Amino acid sequence: MGVFTYETEINSVIPPARLFNAFVLDADNLLPKIAPQAVKSTEILEGDGGVGTIKKINFGEGSHYSYVKHRIDALDKDNFVYNYSLVEGDALSDKIEKITYEIKLVASADGGSVIKSTSNYHTTGDVEIKEEDVKGGKEKATGLFKLIENYLTANPDACN
């Protein structure tokens, strides 16, 4: 098994606390509302929403995938850190055992945020994951993030 790591940074005009509320704490409700073509619904299969919780995310008709299950590995509301693992679903293949993610929001000098994301692809056997293999997923994640940012900008009272 190999582990391939990819890091991404995205800048936002939204402060970390508000962005964390929308992007992490209220995402299960917010994404189906503002991006139903991407996320149809989210359901908690096990747990209370904290560490150890297993969620099933059902994708919308515009997605290449039907669902994924992810497990919350860490949730630090004070430091705006969210870690989770993609453990099941058609986004995984016989080449990828699981994908772990760490999302950290830090304040930027302009009052907004920097979203630091680290993805670790745990592969089976000697499979190698290349940057171009994950480019499409990164672009979709960035697109969802921008939808959330635009929603928060247009709705200043949301997710405070």
Q: What is the pLDDT of residues 95-121, one digit of tens each?
A: 888 999 999 999 999 999 999 999 999
**Nearest Cα to Cα of residue 63 among 93, 88, 32:** 32
Mean pLDDT of all residues in 118-135 = 82
Q: How far is CA 61 from CA 38, 58, 66, 151, in A?
A: 7, 10, 8, 21
Residue 72 pLDDT > 90: yes
Q: What percent of the chain has pLDDT over 90?
A: 67
Taking only the tens place, the pLDDT of each residue in 74-89 is 999 999 999 999 999 9
Q: Burial level of 118, CB count in 10 A (0-12/13-18/19+)?
A: middle
Mean pLDDT of all residues in 2-19 = 93
Classify residue 14: in a domain, yes or no. yes
**Nearest Cα to Cα of residue 57 among 77, 82, 85:** 85
CATH number of domain containing 130: 3.30.530.20
Q: How confident is the model at residue 156 (pLDDT cuts 50, 70, 90)?
A: very high
Question: What integer pLDDT is reported at residue 32 of this predicted model?
Answer: 94
Classify residue 159: in a domain, yes or no. no
Q: For residue 1, give every residue at least 6 positions away whose Cβ sits within 8 Å of its Cβ, in sequence order, or none.
A: 97, 122, 123, 124, 125
What does the chain come to in residues? 160
pTM of the predicted model as reported, rounded to 2 decimal places: 0.90
Question: What integer pLDDT is reported at residue 112 of this predicted model?
Answer: 96
Structural domain harbouring 87: 2-154
Domains held by the chain: number: 1
Classify residue 103: in a domain, yes or no. yes
Question: What integer pLDDT is reported at residue 24 of this predicted model?
Answer: 94
